[in-house]
Amino acid sequence: MIKLIFYLFAGILIFAGTRVITVKNPVHAAMFLVLSFFSSAAIWLLLEAEFLAMTLVLVYVGAVMVLFLFVVMMLDINLTVLREGFARYFPVGALVGSLILIEMLLLVGPNYFGLDKFQVPDTASTVPNTVALGRVLYTEYLYAFEIAAVILLVAMVAAIALTMRSKRQNKYQDPARQVEVSAHDRLKVLKMPAEKAQ
């Protein structure tokens, strides 16, 4: 039964992954990416890694992909330009891609990484894996965790630095100044000598 579910989700995952890079519409591609996230979350659940599965769905599907969709829809990418030259490069690309695929399959396959080579992890632990993960994360891997946090901070700083314009460049309104304005500031009456008719 578990095997059946595994192959089902694995199949969906591969199908969705392939579609992500083959469909023409970027919105559809994003949706396929969401599907592949869901499938991998399901596989993780099979491995009893509930926490990771939940995080994947919450963070990637719930936040990242939604944001991604917004961006894709806002940019309105011209597909025909992107497709240019595809046919020309396809044979070479396909050749190289398949070569790498074959090489990888030869090694990272059941020959060396089969179930007989590696034991199934012992999951009959007393603590739930959220707790276990938390413990390791805040003790043994505290240093790495901190650095990861710093990376996020840098990402934030970088994002702001690259997108925020200083006040002078932004167009904005200051209601207080709008209210306080007087006719005197806006209107100037110029006195000009009247032209005399000749």
Partner 1 sequence: MNFTVTDLSLMLPEIFVLSMACIILIVDAYLPERLRDLTYQLSQGTLVGAAILTLGIQPESSTLLMSDLFISDAMSVVLKSFVYLIVFAVLLYSRAYLHNHKLFCGEYFVLVLMATLGMMVMISAHHLLTLYLGLELLSLSLYALVAIQRDSSQASEAAMKYFVLGALASGILLYGMSILYGLTGTLELSEIAKAIATGQIEPQLLSFALVFIIAGLAFKLGAVPFHMWLPDVYQGAPTAITLFIGSAPKLAAFAMVMRILSEALPDLHHDWQNMLIILAVLSIALGNIVAIAQTNIKRMLAYSTISHMGFLMLGLLVAKPDGYSAAMFYTIVYALMSMGGFAMLLLLSRAGFDAENLDDLKGLNTRSPWYAFIMMVIMLSMAGIPPFLGFWAKWAVLSQVVAHGFIWLAVLAVIFSVIGAFYYLRIVRLMYFEEPSDTAPLQVNTDMHLAVSVNGLAILALGILPQPLLQVCIQSIS
Partner 2 sequence: MESIALIIVLAPLAGAILAGLFSVSRKVAHRITITGVGLSFILSLVVFKQVVLDGLLPFADGTAKEVTLYTWLSSGNSIFEIGFLIDSLTAIMMVTVTFVSWMVHIYTIGYMADDEHNWSGPGGAGKNSYQRFFSYISLFTFSMLMLVMANNFLQLFFGWEAVGLVSYLLIGFWFQRETAVYANLKAFLVNRVGDFGFLLGIAAVLMYFNSLNYADVFANANNLAGISIQVFPGVEWSLMTVICILLFIGAMGKSAQFPLHVWLPDSMEGPTPISALIHAATMVTAGIFMVARMSPLYELSTTALSFVLVIGAITALFMGFLGLVQNDIKRVVAYSTLSQLGYMTVALGASAYNAAIFHLMTHAFFKALLFLGAGSVIIAMHHEQDMRKMGGLKKYLPITYWTALIGSLALIGFPGFSGFFSKDAIIEAVHFAYEADRPGAMFAYYSVVIGVFITALYSFRMFFLTFHGQERMDEHTRSHLHEPPKVVTLPLILLAIPSVLVGVIALQALLYGNFFGDAIYIAKEHQVFTDYHGILGFVLHGLMQPPVYLAAAGVFTAYMLYMKWTDIPARIQHRFSMLHRILMDKYGFDRFNDWFFAGGARQTGNLFSSIGDKTIIDGFFVNGSAHLVNRISGILRQLQTGLLYQYAFAMIIGLLLLLGWFVHF
Residues of this chain that interact with partner 1 (CB under 8 A) are: 107-108, 112-113, 135-136, 139-144, 147-148, 150-151, 153-155, 157-158, 160-162
Asked if 14 is part of the footprint of partner 2 (rule: CB under 8 A), the reply reads no
Cβ atoms of residues 59 and 17 within 8 Å: no
Chain centre distance of CA 175: 38
Within 98-157, the residues that bind partner 2 by CB under 8 A are 99-100, 103, 106-107
Minimum distance, C-beta of residue 102 to partner 1, in the bound complex (Å): 13
Cβ atoms of residues 42 and 9 within 8 Å: yes
Residue showing tokens 């603590």 = 127
Cβ atoms of residues 29 and 20 within 8 Å: yes
Number of residues in contact with partner 2 under rule CB under 8 A? 7
Site string for partner 2, 70-109 (x = CB under 8 A): -----------------------x--x--xx--x--xx--
> HSE on the CB side for 23, CA within 13 Å?
15
Interface positions with partner 2 (CB under 8 A) = 93, 96, 99-100, 103, 106-107
